[in-house]
């Protein structure tokens, strides 16, 4: 984090703007809206600034900047078209420990002005650290369209009840859950439609009937194959509401960054033959946390019901009468295939697709091999990387041609994605040669041949040696 985001109270605070042009005018408008007691220093002013000075909304010192102009100021802005003067302003302010912004010059600034979405008292600031202001403005434009104007009114309404809610709920989790139900329900709708009388009445009713004991629940959320952009809206919303999150090694760190910052995080990672917590213990942990009144997010890579043991987990929750919800995610097979340019079905190559897991509870491969070796289909193997050699041998032993195309997609949909391609005969050597690591999926079938033409997100790692890896060859 290059800049620590902070909101500064400027009501009646003395602030200085050096410059009298259009750029200075934009900064003056913002500072006046924040309630600053403003002084402008410049040889001359554009008409609107001159008008503000004539109306007494700011003090105007005609002339050139002098270091003593910064004395006693809370905030200083340099907005001239001369860098030498801007540097003088910056140095004078910094010598006195005053925050200073030099417009479009982060090097001379000790603070930067973000792009602002104003729904006062709700204010949202967006910054790129001064590097790409245009991008910050583009993001602001998107947020402006997503955040109703009535959110400011809703913030004022909620502030009126803050102390009463705090007195009603001494439990932080219960208080947070109450506010979320209010701010996302009929009360909020009434406020934003201008019917505060109805909102007041409903709020009083909610306060009178609310239980001081928080109601716990568990949310099994599919995090998708790894790219945060592929999360569902529902998943993101629950990630921001959870009190505690349980996650494993299939969840990318970029996804965890989207979880509410103060939520407790518990790693329950599972890898083949190396379980941080046995599955049964994870199930009971969710029960215990929910009974404590906490909202538990069980974050799973891909989709909870596609080799995610989601069924086992909600069976335990149901047995213990714990409220739960399942939020589907893009399964890893769909994400990996799409981003690798490998269609799972294709009229010319595959009329069906089958998902299988590379190992079962006893660690052995016990699959319906006659079904998996039928022609004109695609087979996607989850959790098969460590047993790739055994899998490929089994495919061949049950009648699949040794030259059947096969691919491995590692860290699918993320910046780390790699696709390596071989055949059932060569794939184990390809995996070893390119040091492929979990999380990775294996795709078997003729559709793999399309990756070379259709891979749009990341190139095939071993494009120059698609079907074999000669001894001594270096990969790029």
> Which residues, other chains included, contact 379 with Cβ-Cβ below 8 Å and sequence gap of 6+?
353, 354, 356, 372, 443, 444, 445
Do 330 and 378 meet the contact criterion of CB atoms below 8 Å apart? no
* 461 and 398 assigned to the same domain: yes
Supply 449's token pair: 């041949």
In this structure, the answer to whether residues 314 and 351 fall within a common structural domain is no
- 413-453 pLDDT, tens digit each: 999 999 999 999 999 999 999 999 989 999 999 999 999 99
**Containing domain of residue 19, as a range?**
14-113
Look at residues 294, 312, 330 and tell me which one is the last residue of a structural domain.
330
Is 72 annotated for ligand binding? Answer: no
> Do 22 and 69 have their domain in common?
yes
* 42 plus 83 within the same structural domain: yes
Whether residue 46 lies inside any domain: the answer is: yes
On whether both 342 and 459 belong to a single domain, the answer is: yes
pLDDT at 241: 83
At 263-295, the pLDDT tens digits run 999 998 755 545 567 889 999 999 999 998 888
Question: Was 23 annotated as part of a binding site?
Answer: yes
- pTM (whole model) above 0.85: no
The residues near 14 (Cβ < 8 Å, ≥ 6 apart) are 36, 37, 39, 72, 73, 74
284 and 341 together in one domain: no
Chain mean position to CA 420: 28
Residue 231 in domain: yes
The residues assigned a catalytic role are: 248, 270
- Domain end: 286, 303, 330, which one? 330
The confidence score (pLDDT) of residue 118 equals: 86
Looking at the structure, tell me whether residues 365 and 457 fall in a common domain.
yes
And the tokens for 22?
């259009």
Sign of CA dihedral 284, 285, 290, 292: positive
Q: What is the CATH number of the domain that holds 72?
A: 3.40.50.720
Give the contacts of 209 (CB within 8 A, at least 6 positions apart).
none
Reading phi first (left if > 0) and then psi (alpha if -120 to 50, else beta), residue 370 is in alpha
Determine if residue 358 is labeled as part of a ligand binding site.
Answer: no
Using DSSP's 3-state secondary structure scheme, residue 115 falls into: strand
Q: Could you list the mean pLDDT of each consecutive 10-residue stretch along the chain, which spans 476 residues?
A: 88 97 95 96 96 96 96 97 96 97 93 88 88 87 81 91 90 82 81 89 86 76 93 89 88 88 86 66 94 90 92 94 93 96 96 87 77 95 93 95 97 94 96 93 97 89 50 36
pLDDT of residue 342: 97
- 476 inside domain: no
Q: What is the DSSP letter of 414?
A: S
22 labelled as ligand-binding? Answer: yes
Within this chain, do residues 202 and 223 fall inside the same structural domain, yes or no?
no
Q: Are 159 and 48 members of one domain?
A: no
Domain tally, the chain: 4
Is 383 annotated among the ligand-binding residues?
A: yes
Instruction: Confirm or deny that 366 is annotated as ligand binding.
Output: no
Same structural domain for residues 283 and 181?
no
Judge whether 302 is annotated as a binding position: yes
CA separation for the pair 445, 401 (Å, rounded): 10
């Amino acid at each position: 984090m290059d800049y620590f985001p902070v909101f500064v109270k400027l009501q009646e605070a003395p602030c200085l703007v050096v410059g009298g042009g259009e750029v200075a005018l934009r900064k003056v408008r913002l500072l006046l809206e924040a309630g600053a007691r403003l002084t402008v220093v410049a040889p001359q002013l554009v008409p609107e600034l001159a008008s503000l000075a004539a109306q007494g909304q700011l003090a105007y010192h005609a002339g050139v900047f002098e270091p003593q102009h910064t004395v006693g100021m809370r905030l200083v802005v340099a907005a001239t078209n001369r860098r030498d003067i801007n540097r003088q302003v910056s140095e004078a302010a910094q010598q006195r420990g005053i925050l200073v912004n030099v417009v479009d010059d982060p090097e001379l600034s000790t603070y930067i002005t973000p792009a602002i979405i104003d729904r006062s008292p709700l204010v949202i600031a967006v910054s790129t650290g001064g590097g790409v202001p245009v991008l910050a403005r583009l993001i602001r434009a998107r947020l402006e369209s997503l955040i109703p104007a009535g959110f400011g009114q809703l913030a004022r309404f909620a502030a009126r009840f803050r102390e009463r809610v705090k007195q009603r709920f001494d439990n932080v989790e219960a208080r947070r859950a109450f506010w979320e139900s209010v701010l996302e329900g009929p009360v909020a709708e009434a406020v934003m439609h201008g019917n505060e009388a109805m909102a007041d009445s409903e709020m009083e009713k909610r306060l009178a009937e609310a239980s001081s004991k928080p109601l716990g629940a568990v949310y099994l959320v599919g995090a998708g194959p790894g790219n945060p952009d592929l999360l569902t809206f529902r998943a993101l919303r629950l990630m921001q509401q959870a009190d505690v999150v349980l996650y494993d090694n299939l969840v990318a760190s970029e996804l965890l960054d989207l979880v509410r910052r103060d939520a407790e995080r518990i790693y329950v990672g599972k890898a083949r033959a190396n379980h941080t917590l046995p599955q049964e213990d994870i199930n009971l942990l969710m029960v215990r946390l929910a009974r404590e009144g906490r909202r538990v997010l069980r974050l799973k890579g891909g989709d909870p019901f596609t080799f995610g043991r989601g069924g086992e987990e909600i069976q335990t929750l149901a047995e213990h009468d714990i409220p739960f919800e399942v939020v589907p995610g893009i399964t890893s097979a769909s994400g990996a295939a799409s981003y690798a340019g490998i269609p799972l079905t294709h009229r010319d190559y595959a009329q069906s697709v089958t998902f299988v897991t590379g190992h079962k509870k006893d660690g052995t491969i016990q699959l319906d091999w006659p079904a998996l070796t039928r022609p004109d289909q695609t087979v996607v193997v989850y959790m098969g990387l460590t047993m790739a050699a055994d899998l490929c041998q089994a495919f061949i032993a049950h009648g699949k041609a040794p030259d059947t195309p096969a691919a491995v997609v590692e860290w699918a949909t993320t910046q780390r994605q790699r696709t390596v391609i071989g055949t059932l005969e060569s794939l184990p050597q390809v995996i070893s040669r390119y040091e492929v690591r979990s999380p990775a999926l294996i795709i078997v079938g003729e559709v793999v041949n399309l990756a070379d033409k259709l891979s749009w997100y990341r190139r095939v790692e071993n494009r120059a040696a698609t079907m074999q890896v000669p001894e001594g060859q270096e990969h790029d």
